[in-house]
Structure 1
C-alpha cells in the first residue's frame, strides 16, 4: 500500500482517472488508475493493486477539483457497484463515452467516421427497467441484503435506496429484505431479477429450495401490497415461470410503429425503455428502408427492430441463434399483424460463413445488433461475399453495439476488407452514470 499525489489526465473505460507517476528524469512513468478521480484533478491515492506497469488505486483526498465534478445524488455511491460515474456531470459522461468510441475505432482498426452523430439522450435517473439484484443473508448483521454488489467485491452492498431504479422499485428494496428474511428459505434465495413492463413489474425469485405454503402466502400478500408479479426460477433462466398473480402480461410498446412486444422477465430486452424507443426510431431512420427493400435483422431477439422494420420494407428476415426466441418473435409478429412481411430463421451467427449469406439471398439493407462479443464472423462473411458475390452485399448496414471495442474490430473488417465506408457513428446514453457505452454506426457500400 502507498499514498501519493498525482495529476489526472484522462478517464479509462471503467471511469477511473488515469495519471502517470514521474520517472527520475521527469518523463511519464507507471500508469495509475484512480477510482473516483476526474481529468484535470490533483488527488492523493491509495494503491490496492500493484502490477509491474500499472497500479489500481482509490482517491483518498481531492486537492484540485474538476469543473465537471458534481455531488453524487445517491448516498450509497461510494461503495455500491451499481454506478461508477455519478460524480461526473451527465453531459461530460456522454462526451467521455463519445471519446471512448472514437478512440476504439481509431486505435483498434484505424477507422474514423465521416460524421459524428449527436448523442442520443433519455432520462438520467429512474431509467433502469431491468436489473439483477443480489440477495444475501448476513448472519453477523442479522439481516438480508438486497441490492447490487459492492465495488471491487462479491459482497452485496447495504443499500436502502437506488436512484437509477424507478422510484417504485427503489421503494421496495427494504421491504424485500423483510420479505426474504421471513421466508423459510431465507438463505436459499440468491437473486431477484426485476423486469418492468407497461402495466406490471415482475420480480423473478431465484430459489434453491421449495417454498412452503406459508412462504407462498407471504409472496402473494407482498405482490398484492406492492402491485408486482412474482415469478419463480428453480434452475436456469428457462425454468422461470409466473407464480402470482397469473392475470398479468409483461410487455412494452413502440408507439411510433404501433408495436406491442410481450416478453418474459428473463428475456433480453433493453434496460432503458425510453432510450429503446429513440434507438429503434433512429436506427430505422438511418437505414432509410424503401418500400420494396428486403431487410435483414441479425441477432433479432424477440423482434425489437424486426417488427418496426416490417412496417416499412417489403420483407424482413430476422435471424437469431435460439429457436425459442425466433418462435416467439414470429408469435409477436403475428400478434401485431406483421407475419406476412416477416420471416424468422435460427442460425448461429457466431459461425456464419459466406455460403450461409449466399443461401439467404440478396438484402438491400442490414441491421446488426449483437451482444458484447460483436459480429466478427458475420463481418468476415461479408468480406468473403465481396470476393465471390459482391452483388449480394447490402447497400447499407446499421450496427447497434454495446461494446465499442468489438464494434471497432468489426468496423475494421467491414471497411478494410468488405468494401464499406463508415459514414456515421455516435453514442447512445442507454446507461447514465455507468461506464457502459452503447453506440450506433452506419456503413455504406463504397461505390
Structure 2
C-alpha cells in the first residue's frame, strides 16, 4: 500500500459527523475529487490546515494542524491532554452547541427510522466537570518512559494516554492520577495490573485493582497505606467479576442518596450506576414527571438495575415491579427496598431478551411502563410485551439509533404516539447521547 501523503492541506469544514469530527470534501483538482474527509478537532464553518492520518476506500481521515479561521463556537479546552486522550472529544466546542448537536443526532436517527416526536423536550443538562463517578482506567508500564501510565486510552485507542489529571472524573480520582501512577510504580506486581476501576458514592470512593498475579504482602500494605492516605476503599480483583473482594476497609459501604424522595441506594463497586450523579437525579425527576403516575396506579420498570427509578417511583405509585437480568443487582435492589422501608416495590430476575411468557409479572395489569435498556435497545421485549391497558410509556435510552428503531415499532406496528423526545447530557464533552421519549396510545 502506498504511503499516506502527510503534507498539510487546507480545508473548509462543511459540517460535523455524529462523532464530532469535521467533514470536508476533496477539491475538484484532487485525484479523488469529492471524497469525504473526516477531520478530528475541526468545527463546521472553520478553515483549517489538516494532515491526513488514514486512507479508506470511501473516505479519508485527518487531524487539525492549525485553525486558520476559527468558529465562534470554538472554546479553549480545559484539559491539558485534550487532543491526545480519547475520553473527551468535544471540549473545543461550546457546551450549548454540544447539546444542540446531540439533539440533531437524535432527530436524524428518528428521521432515518421513519418516525418523529410530536414535540421536542428541552435538553436536560447538569454538572459538566468532575461529573464522572464511575469508570475504568487503563494501566500500562512503559519501560521507555520508566513509569506506569494510569488513565484513559489515546484517541486512536492503541496506547494509554499520559495523563496528569482529568477534569471529567470526580476530583478525588481525577486529580490523583499521578499519585496512582506512583503507587503502581512502587508495586512489585506493577507489570501485572492492567486496569483500575473507580466507583464513587456520596461519601466513599472505591478503587478496584485488577491484578494478573498474586499480590505480595508488601504490595497489599502499600495499597492499604495509599487508601488510608487518600480516603479510598480498595478492592482486589484477581480474576472474574465474582472474585472482587475488599482489601481495606474490610466492610466498605458505597451509597448515594436521592434527597427529593428520601431514598438511599447501596451498591457494590462494579455495579452499574449512572455515571453522572447530578444529571441522574435530574433525569429521575424528569422521567417521573413524564410518566405522571397517579395515586393507586401500578408501574412496571424494566431493566431496573439497582432500583434507580423503581425506588423513587415507589414514593408515588401504589406498586412498582422492577425486572432486571442481573441477579446480583436484583438482590441489592431488594435490599435497598427493604432498607428504605418500601414494601410496595418488588423485584424479579429475568433475561429480558428471551421468551417472557411464563414470567409472573407479564400481563399483570400495569398502568405505566418505564424502561431503560442497554445499547441494544428493547425491540425483542416490546414485540412480546402486552401493551393493552398501559396509559403511558417512558423510554430512557443510551443509544439513539435503537431508541429510534424501537420508537418506529411502537408507532408504526403497535399504534402508539411518540408525544415528545429529547436529549439528556449525561456525558458532557463527549459524543455519547442519552435520550428520553414518552409514548401514549393513539
The TM-score normalised by the length of structure 1 is 0.94
Please name the residue that 1:196 is paired with.
200
Cα distance, 1:5–1:255 mapped onto 2, change above 3 Å = same
Per-residue deviation, 1:379: 2.5
1:126 pairs with 2:123? no
**What's the counterpart of residue 15 of structure 2?**
10
User: 1:141-188: CA deviations, max 9, x gaps?
Assistant: 111110000111321101101111122212211111111111110101
Q: Which residue of 2 aligns with 1:243?
A: 247
- In structure 2, how many angstroms separate the alpha carbons of the residues matched to 1:326 and 1:268? 12
Contact kept in structure 1, 2:356 and 2:362, CA below 8 Å? no
Aligned ranges for residues 357-396 of structure 1 at < 5 Å?
359-382=362-385, 385=386, 391-392=388-389, 394-396=390-392
Q: Identify unmatched segments of 5+ residues in structure 1.
A: none
C-alpha deviations, 1:347-391, integer Å up to 9, x for none? 111224577698442211000101111111122224xx4xxxx63
Is 1:278 the counterpart of 2:282? The answer is yes
Pair 1:80 & 2:76 matched:
no
DSSP-derived class of the 1:113 partner = coil
Report the counterpart of residue 400 of structure 2 in structure 1.
404
Question: Deviation of residue 247 (structure 1)?
Answer: 4.5
- Deviations along 1:66-92, one digit per CA (max 9) or x if unpaired, are 100011111100201111000001111
- Unpaired runs of 5+ residues, structure 2, are none
In structure 2, C-alpha distance between the alignment counterparts of 1:41 and 1:353, rounded to whole Å: 52
CA distances 1:47-77 after superposition (whole Å, capped 9, x unpaired): 2222222112112222221100011111100
The alignment covers a number of residue pairs equal to 437
Which of 69, 91, 94 is matched with 2:74 structurally? 69
Distance 2:215 2:363 in 1: 48
Inter-partner Cα distance in structure 2 for 1:361 and 1:395: 14
Query: CA 1:416 to 1:295, structure 2 compared with 1: closer, same or farther past 3 Å?
Result: same
The alpha carbon displacement at 1:246 in A equals: 2.4
Secondary structure at 1:115 match in 2: coil
* Residue pairs, 1:10-49, within 5 angstroms: 10-23=15-28, 29-49=34-54
CA–CA separation in structure 1 for the residues paired with 2:115 and 2:62: 33
Partner of 2:116: 112
Q: Does 1:437 find its partner at 2:433?
A: yes
Q: How does 1:212-227 map to 2 (within 5 A)?
A: 212-227=216-231
State the distance in 1 between where 2:329 and 2:132 align: 23
The 1:419/1:38 distance shift into structure 2, 3 A limit, reads: same
Instruction: Write out per-residue CA displacement over residues 223-265 of structure 1, whole angstroms, 9 at most, x where no aligned residue.
Output: 1110111011111222211110124310011111111000111
Instruction: Give the conservation status (yes or no) of the 8 Å contact 1:161–1:173.
Output: yes
Please, what is the CA RMSD of the aligned residues?
Answer: 1.9
Q: Could you tell me how far apart the structure 1 residues matched to 2:412 and 2:332 are?
A: 37
* Alignment partner of 1:324 is 2:320: no
Q: CA deviation at 1:19?
A: 2.0
C-alpha separation in 1, matches of 2:109 and 2:9: 30
Q: Judging changes above 3 Å, is the alpha-carbon distance between structure 1 residues 356 and 220 closer, same or farther for their aligned structure 2 residues?
A: closer
Provide the rounded CA distance (Å) in 2 between the counterparts of 1:155 and 1:266.
Answer: 24
Aligned to 1:419: 415
Could you tell me how far apart the structure 2 residues matched to 1:233 and 1:179 are? 17
Report deviation, 1:441: 0.6
**1:143–1:177 contact (8 Å) kept in structure 2:** yes
Distance 1:73 1:119 in 2: 23
SS of equivalent to 1:391: coil
Question: 1:355 and 1:8, CA in 2 relative to 1: closer, same or farther beyond 3 A?
Answer: farther
Whole-Å Cα distance in 1 between the matches of residues 251 and 321 of structure 2? 33
Name which of structure 1's ranges 344-353 and 221-230 shifts more when overlaid on structure 2: 344-353
Distance in structure 2 (CA, Å) of the matches to 1:434 and 1:163? 13
